[in-house]
Chains A and B, each alone.
Chain A
Amino acid sequence: MAAKTVAREEKRPRSFYALALFFALFVVFLYGPVVTILTLSFQGPSGGLTFPMNGFSFYWFERLWGGGGTVDIGTAFRRSFALGLTVMVLTVVISVSAGLAFRKKFFGSTALFYVAIASLIVPSIVVSLGIALEFRIVDDVLRPALASIGLVSPRGNSLGLFTSGLGAHLSWTLPFGLLIMFAVFNRLDKSYEEAARDLGASNWQSFRYVILPMIAPFLIGIALFGFTLSWDEIARSSQTMGSTNTLPLELAALTTTVTTPEIYALGTSVTAVSFTVIFGTLAAFFLLQRRRRRRAMTED
């Protein structure tokens, strides 16, 4: 391997430079627009939706968060954050559990796999409508029965953030979680578990002390997917949140009504949260890796 690398090091083919240029342009294409609105969200009070910048200020952020703006952002923000964290935890736990199940043989494993893939691929508007209809039917059928024995109030509906909303988000994040678990377990040598077995570890012990430490870095990846997919999710949320609105839903509604940089300020705020979470988790990942490597070295 090393010899090959050295041999290749000698000259770069001309195509390398063409492709490198293409890659650079692609990165500009990916980041350019987002950088534009990040910049424009700091417009001065008299600035508009496009360049030039009329000064530099936090005016639009103050307007957005001061409550003087068009929507109640604070509430939607807290709501989305709480939902995102819940989805994150559930996605990790359920995906790992299912991942372990797929390491063994069980009846219906193929069906479950295809259902997960289907949940990823079926258009979100269809799933969203379906969940809304399901909850309406359940309300029509079950609520009178439950109300008669005094469990719930006879009126109202069950659609909400932590009922249908949570379910809709899980139907979107779990396929990603499961696919990552597949990728992880396909590359995980089974002899480690068998060694643990041979040394007398119970099922739980071999999971807790052998498998879990090995897959931990990838669980961070699943957590990251869980949170950010939920935090930004909009198509499946559209019909399933009941009377509440998540942050992306507010944002999408604003695109048709707001004509000031306030919407860019909101966009910047949402992106800031995403990036904080991503880089925070990545930092945790690298710290974990380094600590583990150091521990491995001292034990040697």
Chain B
Amino acid sequence: MNNLNMDLVLFRGNGREPASNVKTFILPDKCFEKGVGCAWRNGNKFAIYPRSQTPSKTASTDVDNKILNIRQDVLLFTSILRKLVNESNGTYLLLQKAAETAKTTDNQVEFLKLSRQYRSIIRVCIENLQEALSRVQDGVEKNNLLSYITILYSIECIWHLCEILYIDNIPGDIVLPYLLEWVRFHFPCHEQTASHLLEACERGSEDHQDYWITVIGMVVQGRVDVARALMKLHSAAETNEFKLVDNSLRSMPVYSVYGGISTGEFTITWKHWQAECRSKLSSGVLSNEPKLELIMRLITGDFGAFSSIRGDYTSWYDLLGGWVMYTAPWARRHELASASAACAELGDALSNSRLDRAIRALLDGDLYQVIHEIQQMSDNGWFVTHLTDILYHCGKLRILDKHQTDVTNRLRDSLILDYGSLLMEHKSLWTVGLSYLASCPPEGLRRAELILERMPLKTEAKVMRVMAEAKKYGLVDVGVSACVCQCAVQGGVGRLGAGVAWAVRARSGAAAGRAAHAALRRYVRARRLPAEDLLLAAGPALLLHDTLLFLGKYCDFHRLYKDREFKKAAQLLVSLITSKIAPDYFWETLLLDTLPLLESDEPVFSSSDTYEIMLCLELKPAGLDSEKADLLRLALARNLARTVLSEGGENKQTEDGKTT
């Protein structure tokens, strides 16, 4: 069998972008020559095979008679990303607990904490990836790591914005300071140059090639103080033009919720300030200093100015903070749509990456679109699952289907179920997957049941662990079926004692019966009783099945016989014979076991016992061949002769009464 390792991106049909999501993979042509067949295997695997085959006599190495196993290459199963999977699982479970308590109390702070925890997990993962990147030599590996890093960067960026807009509790909903922080955090360009220049603190810093770009970058990121400090380092900083701009920057009103003035009041002051700036600009004093003029135009929120610097930045959202700051600093969370639309149209390079679209949708408040976009990211659903879950628990998610019914619940569940099932496929991560499935009852548990039942169990340690997990989530059937399987496995390798033990654990009468039959048959064949240690100490567990009980008692008989307690042994044997629960194939053994006891020096069977044995012997003619039967009849007759004589006359009368 060939294992083709492929990155299969399966088409998710939600109709928005059809063809672009379909990837084509070329399989060897010969596969298809004879009519191809396809079958699903467990998880995201399927097999492709030639449907009609002509058996070839010579063993060929061609592909035509091969089965191709095709599986999805799961990014999350790479060693570094497994840390992300495991660590985030802990946070996810904490979140479920927090959500449980949030039903009675407001728990927004807790959610924010957990959201930050998620982000720090992503950050750690990025750092790990970067460290790994610095170590690898192989080109392909390097590319892979780079693409992982890109994916995680986008995830971090979107998550942070999402946290600001939906999870964090922002005073007065004034989002600007948070937005600026977001821009600074994720697009820290120019920061280094700025600090470098400030540290050097030299007059005439404009000789540095990035001087103006840095100053403008600082203005756009809303770091007015830094921009002003940098401008002071210009050799012409004492000129009127510089002083004018510096003055304008300094006098810019900054809104603060706790500042004691109302939004309306602030708006008036701010508009007044901006009008002043505009008048300075139109007076033409700055016409000799194009860079200063640009700064003035930027702080007056001039679209053309922003457009002109767009080329210096990789994305439109680098400018988002600045745009909001200089056009509508009082903007609330839900008022960012127009800002994002304006920023997206800056410049002529219309970028339309997934990240762009996700951020646009986020600012527009269209969470459905956000989920749709991030679902397409090739992180195997890690991001979309966790983000949707936290938004759902924060109560910020409301998705309606085309009939206007609320399907938020179902959306969240389906994402978690997909993610959980994906992890269950992995040999080691199944416990993680299980905890996701278990958080979506009832369907999750049903799925878990189906997957757990099909999980290969190679060692008892794993069986016991599966049982412990099943018990934790109340999946009784899984525990039982694992035991029954293990019973069969142990029976198969001839470990009958272990087989019985597992059957007893499963409380399965049928399995116990099978194991007991196997033990009895083995005794008939090999004359060695398996699992004596177990049977003698088993106690009430033997009641699970008649045959098992019989086996236990028979074992007890052997013990008594070995201990030379012939009287007790004989009594037990007679009760075994008369109870008639012995299986047919065992009658011969059972009857012949009476022989040595019949021949013992002291008679151990009473006459009535002897009659019973005789009766059974005649009732089961198929049990013994004639020679052995005759031998036994002889022994029985002799025993009868001994016992009838020794038993008293009174006794004899009752015996007669019984037999007639």
Partners in one complex: no
Q: A residues within 8 Å of B by Cβ?
A: none
Q: B residues within 8 Å of A by Cβ?
A: none
